[in-house]
Amino acid sequence: MTSAAARSLSALHRAHAEPAWLAEARQAAVARFRSAGLPTTRDEDWRFTNLAALAEVTFTAPPEAEGPAARLLAGAPAPAGARLVFENGRFRRDLSTGARLPAGAVLASLADVLHHAPEAIRPHLGRLAAPAALPFVAANAALLEDGAFLLLPPGAEVEAPIELVFAGGAEHPVAASPRVLVVAGAGARATLAEIYLGTGDVYLVNAVTELVLGEGAQVEHVKLQDDGPRAFHVSTLFAEQAAASRLVAHGLSLGGQIGRTEVRVRLAGEGGELAVSGLFMADGARVQDAFSWVEHAVPRCTTTETYKGILDGRSRGVFAGRIRVLPGAQKTNARQTSSNLLLSRDAVVDTKPQLEIFADDVKCGHGGTVGQLDEAALFYLRSRGVPEAEARSLLIWAFAAEMVDRIGPAALRARGKALVMARLPAAGRIVEAA
């Protein structure tokens, strides 16, 4: 391990006052991360995303002094449900809003739970996010201090989306390692949003989320990644679905100089349904990397996966998705699509949709496209007197809108739309008919 980033991250590892099992797990994870170091383009899973810019940064622990969260949140509409705010990975109680939850449900900061009732999460913490082969997950496991814990007892239904807001940035490059753990009991239902925002500083968010869906549970997970322009964002979402459960996971990956969003789902019970979608946009020399890995372990599950990328400037977009259908997982229905729009001569896209199938009675397909804005459509708009910038924005929005529209809760959808619009050249003048 030679990079400054890897050295400084492992140096952040501290002994905490915590149960032995957690200390041991932390110890094992840091050893794992020390020996693995940061991934390089020689690793097949990181083939197209070069972390050289990240590797040379020396990261520090978040400062005790108050950070940018309050400022970044100013002006944001009040949430309909609960909102937990984290600043450089640490819970900010003062900025958070509670909400009434069904009986038996728990929503708390992970630090609180680790302090007061660590045994409650012992069976789940790190079970899905096993750090063995994944350096960033190992780093998160070594450094995790805070995050969110959501427990939904069987049948509990939470109507309003639960917002987790992660604000990042400080004078020196800080590294945050938030961990989110959601355990949804049988038939429980909730929407969880992770919203990332930050300052113009260099910082690292290395987030890990673990979702455990009980039988028939329904969870919608919305991730709006709007980190600062110089940030490094790496997040890994793990999910395990019991029979007849339904997980919808959307992501808008818009911010950061390098953004990597991993989704790793295991369909472990029959009749599970998974819908993963992601939109990534990049300009300048930014990189957005969407990685997904779905395993069908049992029969009769469905996966639909849709990713779209919009690349401008000298940016790079990467999509790698793998659907594995294990022996015996008959009647699997899986579909994977990756579409990409290149807006400039220097933008680059690499896509790698993969199917690995060990059962015969399945319907699996994937499709990938890379193209540019339709010249004919652009010409048509121009001929109708729509100025170039507006016409382009309109066509880009037409490509992106489908992905934003997938977000269920209206407030989150509107927020997602605003984030995408803010990145279009003349979005201000696009008015959508109701």
Residues of the chain by 3-state class (helix, strand, coil), percent to 5: 25, 40, 40
- Judged by CB under 8 A, the residue of 64, 94, 119, 360 near another protein is 360
Sign (positive/negative) of CA torsion 328, 331, 332, 335?
A: positive
- Cα–Cα distance, 148 to 101 (Å, whole number): 15
For residue 372, state whether it binds another protein (rule: CB under 8 A). yes
For residue 345, state whether it binds another protein (rule: CB under 8 A). yes
- Could you tell me if 424 and 405 are in contact, meaning their C-beta atoms sit under 8 angstroms apart? no
- Could you tell me if 185 and 106 are in contact, meaning their C-beta atoms sit under 8 angstroms apart? no
State the nearest-atom distance from the C-beta of 56 to another protein, in Å.
26
- Judged by CB under 8 A, the residue of 112, 115, 354, 379 near another protein is 354
For residue 330, state whether it binds another protein (rule: CB under 8 A). yes
- Cα–Cα distance, 278 to 176 (Å, whole number): 23
Q: Between residue 45 and residue 64, which ones bind another protein under the rule CB under 8 A?
A: 48
In degrees and rounded to multiples of 5, residue 45 shows phi and psi of: -75, -10
Instruction: Mark the segment that binds another protein (CB under 8 A) among 118-126, 170-178, 336-344, 422-430.
Output: 336-344
For residue 99, state whether it binds another protein (rule: CB under 8 A). no
For residue 358, state whether it binds another protein (rule: CB under 8 A). yes
For residue 98, state whether it binds another protein (rule: CB under 8 A). no
- Could you tell me if 144 and 101 are in contact, meaning their C-beta atoms sit under 8 angstroms apart? no
**Residue 132 C-alpha from the chain's centroid:** 20
Question: Within 13 Å and on the Cβ side, how many CA atoms surround 100?
Answer: 1
Closest CA to 48 of 56, 39, 57: 39
b/e burial code for range 190-223 (CB count within 10 A of at least 16 → b): bbbbbbbbbbebbbbbbbbbbbbbbbbbbbbbbb
- Judged by CB under 8 A, the residue of 19, 200, 371, 428 near another protein is 371
Q: Between residue 309 and residue 328, which ones bind another protein under the rule CB under 8 A?
A: 327-328
- Judged by CB under 8 A, the residue of 31, 160, 359, 411 near another protein is 359
For residue 355, state whether it binds another protein (rule: CB under 8 A). yes
- Judged by CB under 8 A, the residue of 362, 394, 395, 427 near another protein is 362
Binding mask 273-312 for another protein (x = CB under 8 A): ----------------------------------------
- Residues lying near another protein in the complex (CB under 8 A) are found at 44, 48, 327-328, 330, 340, 342-345, 347-372
